[in-house]
Structure 1
Amino acid sequence: MAPTDEKKTSKKFTAKDGNVRRSRNAPQDGQKKRKWVQQHKAFEGSVKEGQGFAFKRKEKVKHQYNKLLRKEKRNTRNPESRQVYVEEYPEHLKHLYLAEAEKLKKEAWTNRVNRTKQRMRWQTCDAAVEQEAAAEAQQTKAAEEEVTGGSEPADSLSGSHEPEPEPEPEPAEAKAKESLPISNRMKKKMEKKTSFQKTKEEFERIKEKRREKKEEYLKNQQQREKAIQKYKQKKTETFQMLSKKTKKGQPNLNLQMEYLLQKIQKN
């Protein structure tokens, strides 16, 4: 017969694994509970659920922007990486290719110098032709003056009249030097501003902008101070008028009514 004097220490009943009741929604075999999602739902999140799709879209755009920045930084560091075509010659023929390139470069430079010389020669020829034409015109003019000189007795009798010295014609070389031919390429190069000039203009523009901004700020500050001073003065006058009292110490209602009447009339 079993002993009857033994007492149980815990009143909780511990059943075996097969008798434990499990809830329907509890995860089985260590699997996570699956979330129910509607079938017609297009995005992972919504306004009520924390805007999950908008956050993902923002992160994607940010990633693309950072990628573009890295690419630009890489290009600025290594300008050689932007070269699409690089000439690579075989070692045993490299000197021939380089000599050919140097020869073509010298020929181009020689042709350019020859063109400039030819232009200068044409200009000197034109200047010489103009000078000869001017000399011929001058000779014909002098011959006409000699022919018509006998009909003027006053000039012939009076030996005091002397012909004015004629200006010497400028040499063709000086004219050629003044009007040296300049190609379009050189004109563009001369008209093109240097980096120093661009920087200086940018600095002057920024300086002028800052000065205008400072003047505008000081003007606005002065107007603001005037408006504040005017408002304070008006407020003080109003307070003094409304705080006046009669001989018995009562508030003067006549002044208050007059102030209200003025305020209504202004409005």
Structure 2
Amino acid sequence: EALGPEPRQPGLKLKLEQCRQGFAFWRKQKLQREYKKLLKKEGKAHPQWKVQYTDSYPEHLKHLYLAEEKMLEKQSKFKRTVVLLEQKCSTTINTALCYSYDCGNLNTHELITCTLVHYRSDMTQRKFKKKTSNQKAKEEYEKIKAERAKKKKEAEKRKQEREEAQRLYKQKKMEAYKILSKRTKKGQPNLNLQIEFLLQKIQQKP
């Protein structure tokens, strides 16, 4: 005979659902306690965030001041929440956890805020890396440019020295030719000048 469907166990299903709800409630209570502790700690560090108002305003304008007070309190609370969540993300949660689906310790608001924090951090790092890369390329270009300018300057200096040496050589050669080509009144080579020139040349040698 074919076996019928297995008997249902409504008690087990109810227990599992109660366990899930109990765990979710415990996790929610834990997050609320941690959040209240952080708010209390941050409130002590920044007491100036609390805006104090008195009842001395005109009655017909009191509702405007109360609305302004409520708006400022909301802004201060939001700023404190962002600061605290940034600190929490930076100390207890890494980037991989924020971008994964397994974020059991974070609620929806914390997950979104943490994701935005890491996205902003990643964008800042990318801009810094891009700036650093451009700066590095610029430094390399300036270095190559300076080396080329140095080599060009050295080549010009060597050229000037070579031209100056050639000029002095030609000058000395011309002076020697003038001395050796002088002749006496009778048209003969002037031996006295030639001997004197040779003696000076010998004395100049080291």
Q: Choose between structure 1 and 2: higher helix proportion.
A: 2
Same fold (TM over 0.5): no
TM-score by structure 2 length?
0.41
Higher relative contact order (CA 8 A, sep 6+): 2
Q: From the CA coordinates, give the structure whose radius of gyration is larger.
A: 1
Please report the TM-score for the alignment, with normalisation by the length of structure 1.
Answer: 0.33
